[in-house]
A and B are shown apart, each in its own frame.
Chain A
Amino acid sequence: MSSLLKRYDFIIKIDLIWLSNYVASFLLILILNFVLPRMMPGDPLHAIYGEEALIAMTPEMEAEIIKRFALDQPWHAQLLTYIIALLRGDLGYSYYYRTGVSDVILCFLPWTLLLTGLAFMISSCIGVILGIESGYRRGSKFDGFMLPIMMFLGGMPDFFIGIILLLLFGVTLGLAPLGGAMSPYAGHSGIDLVMDIAHHLMLPLITLVLVQLAPTYLLTRNAMLTTLRARFIMTAKATGLSEGDIRYKHAGRNSLLPVVTAIGIRVPNMITGALFLEIVFSYPGVGTLLNTALSARDYPLIQGVLLIVTVTVLTTNFLVDMTYTRLDPRVRYAR
């Protein structure tokens, strides 16, 4: 019993160290969100909302906002108000959509999550498998074919790949819709609805998968080359294991470790990539929202998007870290 308690205590301690990391990132964003508008010269109200928004506002609305953000109070009172509002889930007011920022974002977020989540899973699976095969058969025709392609793909800017695919399949060939997440007013339901959504999702998804494939592939391949030199591969061969077991159970499984570690860096990249692609494909996710907010200079909305994206990234990274300890026994016990 006591030993169990001790181990539990140990895990909590580890988690605290990790958590401190995430808390630090989160605080950084909060500070940025809070300080940046207030650092700007002139009236903080102008800074927070921008000139364009103020033109559209009535004096009553202005007064209401000043009161709401405690803008006439000293900075610590402002900070307190800011934090309390955040805790209530209040991210501010979007003058462009004329509703709460959090409500607007919640409308757009699911599409982004659908796109990035699917792209993440597909690109990881394909990238890892191709990387394992390519690394195991280094110097083969397959490897010689994949490596340059992947290096080229990895070098391209994501939004340009999107543009090319859009121009090719959407504009020229007319095989894919030019925008949106589903056909408006079509009234699809059931399987039709799913197919319609898939049809709209296809092009952005393929682009994002293509873009994300290269880093996973290259990393897996490199990890594979390193792992194949380890002595336990020789042990496995001397034990008479089958090719498949050596390739996947031993070399592959070990090569997965650095790939999982790198997810922490890939997730922000992935989300950023998705934002750009949404804009290219007019896909109604957070990226399109951000673009709208940018052109409308709806600053609270931009801030809100940033906050949500950060929280998403940090949460994924946290989950990845948890998975990693399951995958690598050395980390599980050594930390």
Chain B
Amino acid sequence: MTLWANALMEGVLLGGLYALFAAGLSLIFGIMRLVNLAHGDLIILAAFVVLSVAAWLNIDPFAATLAALPIMFLAGFALQYCILNRTLGRGLLPPLLVTFGLSIIIENGLLELYSADSRRLHGGSIETSSIALGHSIGIGVVPLLTLASAIVVILALNFIFYRTALGRAFRATADDLEISQLMGIDHPRIFSIAMGLAFVVITIAALYLGMRANFDPTIGPERLLYAFEAVIIGGLGSFWGTLVGGIIIGVAQTVGAQIDPEWQILAGHVAFLAVLVFRPRGLFPLPVD
């Protein structure tokens, strides 16, 4: 019984990580209908950036992430401004294929720079510390911090979206691109800010990815799939929905692994396909499409 409870608990905490993966993807799709196939590779790229900053400045991963955030914001802004904006408004293929090409470039660029070795972000004693719950269940501090960060990120994104002028501009642009220009909204700039913001979320996700487990340049696409599954399960356009979606994928994986370690990833995918079959619009669809 404790094993299952433990699996469930771990799944919920893993869901926090997947929600962080998903929030950035959801943000970008919500504002500019861009599905970024390089999202997973960008998370891995961010993990390597944090790794390098930590090594270079000789600081711990948390401080390195803080230092990396502005760089990553600018990188996201520049990527959108210089490349991705050119792909929008020209149909389905250009954004898909350009981000797919980007995904290949990032993965192989990282292989070239960092080799295929597994890496990890080392945070010292925090990595192994846990909070005991009863006599046989313990919660790792890092997984707990991951979930807490996911909640904080979602609160922050909701605040930006629904309480600030920038958020109004995001929503107005998503609603009606032509009319938003009449409000003096410079949409290439708005899209670039959104991508910069997504890169900030990606970098936070990368911190916890790198502290919880090993990573190497090739594991990006799988992270894209988890993020995507969480977004679809949650229903497009709701950040809280991505948290629920992330938790469902996380629990499916840990419970699947409890049955047979080889079923971990498969169980997550199957849970996603099941939601797709029974609730094709996700669990929390928007009232208006």
A and B co-occur in one complex: no
